[in-house]
Amino acid sequence: MTTTIYAIASKCFETYGQGDFGEELKICQKDAYHQDGTFPPVFRSEHSAREHLEKMNYYQDKIIVKLKLRD
């Protein structure tokens, strides 16, 4: 059985070598610099994820992504 959950990912540009690059989506840790980082929460609904995203101070490079949770 699978369940859909929602997370907030960051848009990042990645260089792969030989001048090849692309945009990736990454779920990044918060406060990982000089301490143990924590991952952002995941949500049961896209609506809840959007509410959380809109409360963040800086979210222009963020996007809501769907993940499949498998048992």
Q: Which two tokens stand for residue 2?
A: 């699978």
> Could you tell me the sign of the dihedral formed by the alpha carbons of 21, 25, 29, 30, in that order?
positive
| SS3 category, 53 | helix
Backbone angles phi, psi at 50, to 5 degrees: -65, -40
The pLDDT value given to residue 71: 83
pTM, entire model: 0.80
pLDDT digits (tens, 9 = 90+) for 4-22: 999 999 999 888 878 788 8
The 10s digit of each residue's pLDDT in 30-70 is: 877 777 888 889 999 999 999 999 998 877 889 999 999 99
Provide CB contacts within 8 A for 63, sequence distance 6+.
8, 9, 10, 11, 25
pLDDT at 67: 97
**Domain spans of the chain, in order of start:** 2-70
Instruction: Report the pLDDT value the prediction gives residue 24, as an integer from 0 to 100.
Output: 92
d(CA 63, CA 26): 10
